Amino acid sequence: MTNAKYAKVTTGLIVVWFLISLTASAFHLFRTGADQPPLPLGLAVLIPIGIFAAWSSSSQTFRQFLLSLNPRTLTIVQAWRIAGFTFLVLYAFDILPGTFALPAGWGDIAIGATAPLIALKLSNPHYRKSFIFWQLLGIADLVTAVGSGVTARLINPHGIATSAMTVLPMSLIPTFAVPLFMILHFICIAQARQWHERSHQSMGGPLHSVGL
């Protein structure tokens, strides 16, 4: 399959994924009781990432397509995460617990605000280490948000629940946005690893295949 065909297929899959998340949310499939951890949301995060990992590890042509994408574009998409201020607003109105909303909100704001700068200035081989470090920070923010969201009720059983994240419109964040942003981080790191291999090739060293 050519890169152009992969582009059409992946675009279609992303649209279908969004519609599935929207429909499932509309039917309250992710909704859990206030005394229950939001395990359906956790699965909604992990399943797309697992599918991506399996596909990219089993298909060399798909990996080549991913590595051909523009890292600047993939990184600047993360600017949408500045909308994490919504978590802080919901926390201020006692709709979300602070153990989840504060780290998730401020972390997303930090990543979203710096994404344009990273995309424009650091998405090239000259700043490979800094580029990868920022991508890892973005992953850490997402992992922290998901982890604190799932465990918030366990940490404080009598506190505010994260049930607001299980219904529309907030449910689209963990069921669609979070795994998508995570996947974009993974692709950018894989691309930066390719920059490293290419630099060795230019100096006469062997070029090894880059996995995702």
**Tokens standing for 61?**
């042509």
Confidence (pLDDT) at 89: 98
In this structure, the chain runs to a length of: 212
Interior angle at CA 204, CA 200 and CA 208, nearest 5: 50
Contact 185, 135 (CB under 8 A): yes
pTM: 0.89
| 212 residues of the chain, pLDDT tens digit each | 889 999 999 999 999 999 999 999 999 999 877 667 677 888 899 999 999 999 999 999 999 999 999 999 999 999 999 999 999 999 999 999 999 999 999 999 999 999 999 999 999 999 999 999 999 999 999 999 999 988 887 788 788 988 899 999 999 999 999 999 999 999 999 999 988 655 544 433 433 333 34
